[in-house]
Amino acid sequence: MKKFLSKILIFLVVNIILFELTVRLFNLTNDIPQRNLIDDRFQIYKKNQKGVFKNAKWEVNDFGFLGLSDIDYEGNQVLLIGDSYLENMMNNINCNVGNHMKLIDKKLKVFEIARSGMTLIEYFEFYKKFKQTINPTNTVFIVNSNDIYESISNINRYPDRIQVNLNENKISKVDLKYPNLKKILYNIKGLYYLYYNQFLNFNFPNLKSSKKIINTATNKELIRKLINYIRDNYSTEEISFLCYNMKNYEINSLKMLSENIYHIEEFSKNELIEDDRHWNCLGNQKVAEIIYNKFIISK
């Protein structure tokens, strides 16, 4: 009986090892960088991480982001802040908006602060934290509707993002979402493959997002309060806003923060990645050209 159980155990161990090697060899899962929480507020990636996401290579820079990290104090510094569209994990870094801008003007130095799920309030918080270090001559926030609504915890509470409670006029507490589970899943790729493809399911009670159904009129009022909060707590006059996937009243609300606003009304199919609707290289090139023409040389 012992020999039989030993053979079964050896068989399972060998197959688990073979399965893990197969997943790693053929890149059957996407690599996701692990995060740190600094100052109890800012989520950045842990340094010295590299990986592959949808056949595109990524690498965390010294500041904890995936994008460009040029710093220049001679007056050619551009700071871009955005979410996963700017982060560009699904394309190689030479496809980034910043790199396309540098192809247009080789004198430019571009620093990109971006992470999936970042909110508009998060943009301002990162801008305030990094402004002195980067000392930008041009700052552009790349904004869509979700960035606005997900800034407001009174609409939906996302504990793993920087949000503002507009009833209390203060930033809500930020927590990393399942850091220990993610560390296990991302390091044991066979387990992550089973989880990602829903062969395994983990249900945890912590960090649940509270979602509410709020009508358009209420949304408009909350956006008005958000804009007032931003005006009272952040410097906005030096920031330009490149908007996409936004309604007119949302764009008009941002005009209360800055005169430098441009709205991209649509992207063509050949400018988007088919399976997730993020920008491909052509889409990033389009964004780079608009930023350069509307916000850089126009000044």
Model pLDDT for residues 23-82, shown as the tens digit of each residue: 666 566 777 899 999 999 999 999 989 988 888 999 999 999 999 999 987 778 999 999
In a domain? residue 199: no
Q: What is d(CA 32, CA 49) in angstroms, rounded to the nearest whole number?
A: 9
Host domain of residue 61: 33-174+207-296
Domain membership flag for residue 183: no
Local structure of residue 11 (DSSP, 8 states)? H
pLDDT digits (tens, 9 = 90+) for 258-281: 999 999 999 999 999 988 889 999
Return the C-alpha torsion angle 222, 225, 230, 232, nearest 10: -170
Mean of pLDDT values over 114-136:
96
Q: Quick check: is 197 in a domain? A: no
Is residue 12 over pLDDT 80?
Answer: no
Is 189 inside a domain boundary? no
Q: Residue range 106-110: average pLDDT?
A: 95
Q: Are 106 and 75 in contact (CB under 8 A)?
A: no
46 and 60 Cβ atoms separated by less than 8 Å = yes
Q: How many domains does the chain have?
A: 1
Q: How far apart are CA 72 and CA 98, in angstroms?
A: 14
Kindly report which listed range (63-67, 124-128, 216-220) carries the lowest average pLDDT score.
Answer: 216-220
Residue 267 DSSP code: -
* Residue 26 covered by a domain: no
pLDDT of 75 = 79
Between 1 and 241, the more confident residue is: 241
Residue 275 confidence (pLDDT):
82
**Cα–Cα–Cα angle for 270, 271, 272, nearest 5°?**
95
pLDDT at 297: 84
Average pLDDT of span 13-18: 66
Tokens of 276: 């997730």
Q: Is residue 167 part of a domain?
A: yes
Burial 142-155 (b: 16+ CB within 10 A, else e): bbbeebbbbbbbbb
Integer Cα distance of 120 and 151 in angstroms? 6
pLDDT at 125 over 50: yes
Q: What are phi and psi of 35, to 5 degrees?
A: -110, 155
Categorize the per-residue pLDDT at 11 as very low, low, confident or very high, splitting at 50, 70 and 90.
low
Stretch 7-12: mean pLDDT? 70
**Is the separation of the CB atoms in 52 and 25 below 8 Å?**
no
CATH number of the domain within which 72 lies: 3.40.50
Would you say residue 192 lies in a domain? no
Is position 241 within any domain? yes
DSSP label at residue 201: -
What pLDDT shows up at residue 276?
A: 84
What integer pLDDT is reported at residue 205 of this predicted model? Answer: 47
Of 174, 145, 163, nearest to 229 by C-alpha is 163
Cα dihedral sign, 224-230-236-241 = negative
Nearest to 280 by CA among 266, 291, 265, 269: 269
β-pairing verdict for 56-59 and 50-53:
antiparallel
**Average pLDDT value over all residues in the chain:** 86
Q: Which two tokens stand for residue 182?
A: 């993610």
Please determine, for residue 257, whether its predicted confidence score (pLDDT) is greater than 80.
yes
